[in-house]
Structure 1
Amino acid sequence: MIKKTENRKIKLVGITGRMGSGKSLFSSFLKKKGIPVYYSDRRGKILMNQIILIKKNIIKYFGKDSYKRNKINRFYLSEIVFQNPIALKLLCSIVHPWVSLDFKQWMFSVSIQKKIMYVVKESALLFESGSYQECDFVITITSSKKNMIERIIKRDNLNENQITYRLKNQISDKKREKKSNIIIKNYLSTHHLQKEAEKTHKMLKKLIT
């Protein structure tokens, strides 16, 4: 049972899940309800291309192949960090401080808007980065391995073996669930996930008001 949090103007809801779980889609349904959503992973990729200091440090530790035509080489970097937890922590330590600052600037920009009860921070690395500690509520989206693999194959240029290996090196659903307030099981249709988002939105409104 979720308890009401202390009185604060705007609550922060963290949404996370393993790759292909459907967390971005779930967040998009809340966005359609008028809830501001900060997509941490997308912003992180943008910042890796924009911030010179990030570029320098990534090239320093991961090599010149980390960038192609002055843009982050996602495939090359992913092959390294998803095979080595230490490498993933190093990459997070380079990028996360900038994402954190970018999020604070975004949070300030949305805080001046009226009638916003809560905002969403969507992040695959919500627990790895420690960002979950800033959240009033944490939602974990789970799905079956089969469904996640099918979604990722459609979305990314990866084969099943590559996807399976990366999923193994991400925090398990069990560990995520222990630190989460709400668990959403995305095993059925997109329509079902949308209904879950609507139910969650109503629940959060009741808890916050």
Structure 2
Amino acid sequence: MLVVAKPFQIGITGGIGSGKSTVCKIFQHLGVPVYDADSHAKKLMTTDGILISQIKKEFGDLSYNSDGTLNRIYLGNNVFHNEEKLALLNSLVHPRVAIDYSHWVNENKQHTYVIKEAALLFEANSHKGLDRVIVVTAPEALRFKRVLARDLHRTVEQLKAIVEKQMPEDEKRERADHIIVNDESMLVIPQVLELHALFSSL
């Protein structure tokens, strides 16, 4: 039986405002498939029958509106601001994302390498099984400045709360196989091109 080798799998993560999505867009322009785990998670919460049933079982039918969309007001009041319930929700979502990602990798097996982008890559242990991890890094003050300019509805207090739930920047850097510095002192594209050449040769 002929066994088709899986493509090399690269994870990309970084704190809010670090620019990981921008880095992923550069890789996409180079023809590299990118799996945005956060977007897929949101999609699966309204399309994956198993996950929908699990969420309704744990948090009630009010978790969804009559049209099948997430009842974000209800979940915001009852789940998102409760650490235990949020951890429970994540424990339901992450395994379904892992299965979805596995199918996606199989669909892209003709590529030399693929990328998985996730904000909580280390925190959710979804870096396991990946071949390499890139951490996109920038100083916290610069990251906050970027997000506040991009998301006018956010406040500094909200950003601090988000950062507290994420792994400290120093620890991410220590765990990284590769680091892309996006602090406006170095050009990002040459850093991506260097890694693209490396991964394409593996």
TM-score normalised over the length of structure 2: 0.83
Contact 1:83 1:169 in 2 (8 A): no
Q: SS where residue 97 of structure 1 aligns?
A: helix
Candidates 126, 135, 156, aligned match of 2:121: 126
Contact 1:83 1:166 in 2 (8 A): no
Distance in 1 between residues matched to 2:147 and 2:60, nearest whole Å:
27
Candidates 175, 180, 184, aligned match of 1:179: 175
Q: Residue 45 of structure 1 aligns with which residue?
A: 42
Q: Deviations over 1:47-67 (max 9, x none)?
A: 112123323433444566644
Q: Quote the RMSD (CA, aligned, Å).
A: 2.6
Q: Deviations over 1:160-208 (max 9, x none)?
A: 211111112211112212221011121117x9222321222123234x1
Residue identity matched to 1:139: I
Contact 1:14 1:121 in 2 (8 A): yes
Residue identity matched to 2:177: N
Distance in 1 between residues matched to 2:197 and 2:25, nearest whole Å:
16
Residue identity matched to 1:107: V
Contact 1:139 1:181 in 2 (8 A): yes
Q: What is the percent sequence identity of the aligned residues?
A: 31
**Number of equivalenced pairs:** 195
Contact 1:19 1:148 in 2 (8 A): yes
Distance in 1 between residues matched to 2:196 and 2:129, nearest whole Å:
20
- Cα distance change on mapping 1:117 and 1:20 into 2, 3 Å: same
Q: Residue 3 of structure 1 aligns with which residue?
A: none
Candidates 159, 184, 189, aligned match of 1:188: 184
Q: Residue 28 of structure 2 aligns with which residue?
A: 31
Q: Deviations over 1:27-68 (max 9, x none)?
A: 111111111111111111111121233234334445666445
Q: SS where residue 188 of structure 1 aligns?
A: coil
Contact 2:6 2:105 in 1 (8 A): no
In structure 1, stretches of 5+ residues that fail to align are 1-7
Q: Is 1:109 aligned to residue 107 of structure 2?
A: yes
Distance in 2 between residues matched to 1:140 and 1:180, nearest whole Å:
6
Q: Is 1:54 aligned to residue 56 of structure 2?
A: no
Q: Residue 5 of structure 1 aligns with which residue?
A: none
In structure 2, stretches of 5+ residues that fail to align are none
Q: Residue 92 of structure 1 aligns with which residue?
A: 90
